[in-house]
Chain A
Amino acid sequence: MRIIAAIINTLPTVLSSTLLCFFLPFSAQADGRIKGTGGVSSISGAGGGGLIPWATLTGHSTREELGGNMFLTMADVDDFTLEVAGAGFNYRDRAELSYARQNFTIKANDARISQDTVGLKYRLAGDLLYGSLPQIVVGAEHNALRDSATAKAVGADKAHGTDVYISSARAWIDGLGNRTTLLNVNLRYSTANQYGLLGYGGDDIGTRLHVEVAAGVFLTRSWVVGAEYRHKSDNLSALKEDSATDIFVAWLPSKRFSVTAAWVDLGEIAGAPDQTGFYLSIQGGL
């Protein structure tokens, strides 16, 4: 029994070391981009801001390098909490593969909804910092609920679904107040209810095209402040759904580590109005 307990106790360490050994051969050279150009990790796992993915590819690898990030995120609003753990992998600053596990908890009864998201992002053209074209990517996010009961109960059609988006971002080195300034715009096609946590589709399907916007300013090379907006539609006649916004502060002491704190306004969720609260995310380079 003791041996089993010891093995269980050391398992996370062994697993993370194995992962580290696997990534180490290339991670030593995966820092070729300017700090901050990889953004942070969004709740879907895709490189981005927080509530929405950005056109940036996670990490700091160039076209000669491979890289990635792992992250942990927590959001705590009035009646719910969301915990996310995940990772993103960057292939030569051309493609990004990401995974996230979301655990959404209803505080009142401690009920939990879990969702897995796999994301893929492909850089079509341009560059965040350099040249005449902004960075333009296409992406897809496939969400699957672990348990379809809640989604079915609220009237969603499916417990899984895929969002697709096109995203464009530019950072002006000499932007507002001579500070590096980022603007990101996404156009998303989705029938998700509350990020997929309440399934896909419904009896009152709203618009399927959603605009998402993020803006940020690098006050210094290590501190960024900004805001995001995520338009969402209302597909369920039984429950109202609002768009979501956040105001964030990110601290990037190195290319390998960042902390993002935000204030989120998620609007009405599952009959509970005005869901505002805090958001905290830490990210570490692979």
Chain B
Amino acid sequence: MSSPEKVTAQIKAPTSFLLGLACAGIALFLIAALIELPDEALGLTELSKQHMDESGVEHPVTAVLLNFRAYDTWLEVGVLLMAVMGMLLFQRRSDLRDIERMPAPDPVLNWLIQLLFPMMVLVSGYLLWMGKFSSGGAFQAGVVLGAGGVLLWLAGHPSISGFSGRLFRFLLTVGFGSFLLVAFYNVLLSQAILDYPVAYAGTIILIIEAAATISIAVTVAALIIGLQPVIRDRDRTPLEPH
């Protein structure tokens, strides 16, 4: 087995050079296509501006994410969920309770984290709220919160590995589930699947965003923490049959 340290090219130098030429060709084609784009862009800025009144929020990116193209966001939260499910599936566990904990940190780091983590929760909530008016929203808020969870865990705290299995799975699915509830409600009333009434659009978006923030945070933290070795790593049954 070769050392993983060095760059190992499976392909020999002449072939590699030819492949380089092919990739350069692809790049040239793409650039040629770019240059042929019309100068006058017919983007969707105007269209989204016209419908901002109906969206219930004041920031165009949030309006697109949670209202005009809510489908995309819904399925995207679904993709996150599937990534976690895939990871847990082939690790043969349903929660992170058996993850090995990091050793307790020195007092200075501990103090820093006690200071930083509440700030991160605060910033996350602020970003979530600000999404209605300006830059911010569920994704940024979720990632900040998730990074806070990872930080907490790196400092030897249980973080999300302290959640019980049921709570962990609930938090993972609550974002996807809230979209599903809205869709189900709309189907019952035989409306378009993700159509919010204009009067309540802002509130519904905030609730969905809050749920999505929690799901994104737990998912991001689980994807990073879940890669760590478990306690009793050697006792676990290997995945392949003997």
> Are A and B co-members of a single complex?
no
Which residues of B approach A to under 8 Å, CB–CB?
Answer: none
